[in-house]
């Protein structure tokens, strides 16, 4: 009997150790890091926080407002296509009307648009904020008016909204950096190409990456410069780095696949071997380059398909179901997790044009209608 009790105790201790080890693994951030990043603090806190939505509960069908990025690039066009497709899929007995506003990627345009949408008294507002500061007041006004706000793909400065659908951008930046550190065996020179300075997505990813590099003294960051999320700017900058550092560059951290495409192009022009790139995405053009040139890379994701999750969340809110205050699409949509070059063939689609960023949830015929299928 004593033996059985002892064995039982040992088993419990081992189980506890395993659980403890898993917990330790699942918390990749130090307390110092969390304290230093208000974004990380907020995301980690909101992940565990539920929003009581009973005040918004009402019977359907619902009129949902979508203040989107709008006509600006392929990502946004596919975001809109996903929204329209999914609303159609759900049918008019679930969503009777989708009120849509096209911000043309401008905060100045979006602020009055949100006011116009609210004047139409929607049941919920899905907002893709074009500016964290500029959209804070409109979000607060919507909540005060009793319209629940679901932030989609970006955030605002105020905390007065129901929930945010996105991903932990700090973690994305850190993942790309950690992959580079591992790839380089903890030692080497890297350059960092960030997005647009001052834009929160870019700054947050950068801070995540910098924390990782700082924790690895064998890694030297030769330079950090913005590539403005542009292929042209990315190539221009990489050319200058190549002229300055040449083969001293052991790895490249990039905050976006558009810039990474410019980086690859600069290397191809220079005829120099391409080092590992921590900065791919599920972007068909980059993946094609990666396959053609056998590039070693890691990719993060920011899928346009996340709007489906935003719509689902809005419906949940209107049905009075409580929702987490931060919803990571990686937990809900397939093929939106970080990946590396070992999976490039799984993600690349030879029938898609270079502009497509996946995953695409709607049928391929719709993609063809939108002109995103390669025709010979």
Partner 1 sequence: MSAEMWPLPSTTIAVRRFIVQYGVYVSLGIVLVAGIFLTPNLYSSQTLEVIFKQGAQLGIVAIGQTLVLLVSGLDLSMTGVIFMTSVVIARVSNGNDQMLIPAFIVAYGLGGLVGLANGFLVTKRKVPPFVATLGVLILVQGAVQAYTLGVPGGFVPDGLGIVNQSFGFITIPLILWIILSVIFIGVLRLTPYGRRIYAVGSNPIAARLSGLSVNWLVTSAYVLCSLCAVTSGIILTGYVGYVDRFIASGFDLDSIAAAVIGGTSFAGGRGSLLGTIAGVLLIQVLSTMALLLGLDIQVQLIIKGLVILVAVALYSAARVE
Site of interaction with partner 1 (CB under 8 A): 70-74, 76-77, 104, 197, 222-223, 225-226, 228-233, 235-237, 239-244, 246, 258, 261-262, 265, 269-270, 285, 353-355, 370-372
Q: How far is the CB of 269 from partner 1 (least distance, A)?
A: 5
75 vs 283: CA distance, rounded Å: 9
Between 78 and 165, CB nearer to partner 1: 78
Cα end-to-end distance, the chain, whole Å: 77
64 vs 16: CA distance, rounded Å: 46
Whose tokens are 């602020």? That residue is 111
Q: How far is the CB of 211 from partner 1 (least distance, A)?
A: 19
100 vs 66: CA distance, rounded Å: 5
Between 288 and 325, CB nearer to partner 1: 288
Q: How far is the CB of 265 from partner 1 (least distance, A)?
A: 6
Radius of gyration of the chain (CA): 22
Q: How many other CB atoms sit within 10 Å of the CB of residue 31? A: 8
Between 92 and 243, CB nearer to partner 1: 243
Between 132 and 370, CB nearer to partner 1: 370
Q: How far is the CB of 100 from partner 1 (least distance, A)?
A: 13
Contact partners, residue 70, CB within 8 Å, separation at least 6? 76, 80, 101, 102, 103, 104, 105
Q: How far is the CB of 71 from partner 1 (least distance, A)?
A: 3
Between 72 and 319, CB nearer to partner 1: 72
Strand partners, 352: 373
Whose tokens are 């890694």? That residue is 219
Identify the H or E element spanning 67.
strand 62-68
Between 111 and 222, CB nearer to partner 1: 222
Q: 279 and 322 in contact (C-beta within 8 Å)?
A: no
Q: How far is the CB of 121 from partner 1 (least distance, A)?
A: 28
Strand partners, 50: 324
């Amino acid at each position: 009997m004593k033996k059985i009790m002892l064995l039982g105790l040992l088993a419990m201790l081992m189980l506890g150790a395993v659980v403890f080890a898993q917990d330790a693994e699942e918390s990749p951030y130090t307390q110092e890091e969390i304290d230093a990043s208000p974004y990380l603090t907020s995301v980690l806190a909101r992940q565990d926080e539920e929003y009581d939505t009973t005040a918004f509960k009402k019977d359907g069908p619902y009129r949902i407002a979508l203040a989107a990025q709008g006509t600006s690039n392929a990502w946004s066009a596919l975001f809109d296509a996903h929204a329209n497709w999914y609303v159609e899929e759900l049918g008019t007995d679930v969503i009777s009307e989708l009120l849509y506003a096209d911000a043309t990627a401008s905060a100045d345009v979006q602020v009055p648009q949100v006011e116009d949408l609210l004047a139409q008294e929607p049941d919920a507002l899905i907002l893709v904020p074009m500016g964290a500061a500029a959209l804070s007041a409109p979000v607060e006004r919507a909540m005060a008016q009793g319209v629940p706000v679901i932030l989609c793909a970006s955030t605002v400065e105020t905390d007065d909204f129901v929930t945010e659908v996105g991903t932990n951008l700090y973690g994305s930046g850190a993942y790309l950096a950690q992959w580079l550190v591992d790839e380089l065996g903890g030692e080497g020179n890297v350059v960092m190409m960030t997005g647009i300075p001052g834009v929160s997505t870019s700054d947050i990813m950068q801070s995540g990456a910098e924390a990782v590099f700082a924790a690895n003294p064998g890694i030297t960051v030769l330079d950090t410069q913005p590539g403005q999320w542009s292929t042209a700017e990315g190539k221009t900058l990489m050319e200058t780095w190549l002229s300055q550092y040449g083969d001293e560059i052991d790895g490249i951290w990039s905050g976006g696949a558009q810039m990474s495409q410019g980086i690859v192009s600069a290397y191809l022009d220079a005829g120099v071997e391409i080092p590992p790139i921590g900065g791919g995405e599920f972007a068909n053009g980059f993946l094609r380059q990666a396959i053609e040139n056998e590039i070693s890379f890691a990719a993060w994701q920011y899928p346009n398909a996340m709007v489906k999750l935003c719509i689902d969340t809005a419906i949940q809110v209107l049905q009075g179901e409580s929702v987490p205050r931060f919803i990571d699409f990686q937990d809900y949509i397939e093929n939106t997790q970080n990946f590396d070059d070992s999976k490039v063939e799984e993600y690349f689609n030879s029938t898609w044009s270079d502009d497509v960023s996946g995953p695409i949830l709607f049928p391929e015929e719709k993609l063809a209608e939108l002109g995103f299928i390669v025709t010979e």
